[in-house]
Amino acid sequence: EETKRSVEAILTDLRTRSEHRDLYARVPTTLAFQSRVGPVRWLEPSTADVVKRFAREGVRDLVLVPISFVSDHIETLYELGYEVREIARAHGIRTFVLVEALNDSETFAEALKEIVLEALGA
């Protein structure tokens, strides 16, 4: 639920406050999940299934934002950056952009610092 609320908040902001709000209002977006391990029930829809659906619907340019991850690692670099990219290519997506995670962003580090200081009452 937290991820869903985060995505909704970001999209609302982009569609109402961004200088490109008219573009964001027209761009198809969705929340998808990945990183299922083994034969267990997992969150749906899967990223691979969404990529295939977008391709069937005529989407040819795709930007993937790994919103649940604060740093790049095997799940973003390999699963999304390689496996899902190959699925996209095989289904007719011609442009595939994987947005880099926050990693060592100075802005992110400052935000974390402020959260910690506030929690400590400093």
Which pLDDT belongs to residue 75? Answer: 84
- Average pLDDT of the segment spanning 35-55: 85
pLDDT in tens, 84-100: 999 999 999 999 999 99
Total structural domains in the chain? 1
Which residue in 18, 20, 48, 102 sits closest to 30, CA to CA? Answer: 48
Assigned domain for 101 exists: yes
Tell me, yes or no, whether 3 lies in a domain.
no
Q: Quick one: pLDDT at residue 82? A: 96
Question: Is 69 domain-assigned?
Answer: yes
User: What pLDDT, on the 0 to 100 scale, is given for residue 61?
Assistant: 95
pTM here is 0.81
Q: Is residue 9 domain-resident? A: no
Q: What is the mean pLDDT of residues 54-59?
A: 96
Name the residue range of residue 112's domain.
32-120
- Residues 69 and 75: beta-carbon distance below 8 Å: yes
CA torsion sign for 26, 27, 28, 32 is negative
Per the prediction, the chain carries an average pLDDT of: 91
Does 2 fall in a domain?
no
Domain annotation covers residue 26: no
Residue 38 has pLDDT above 90, yes or no: no
CATH at 40: 3.40.50.1400
Does 11 map to a domain? no
110 in a structural domain: yes
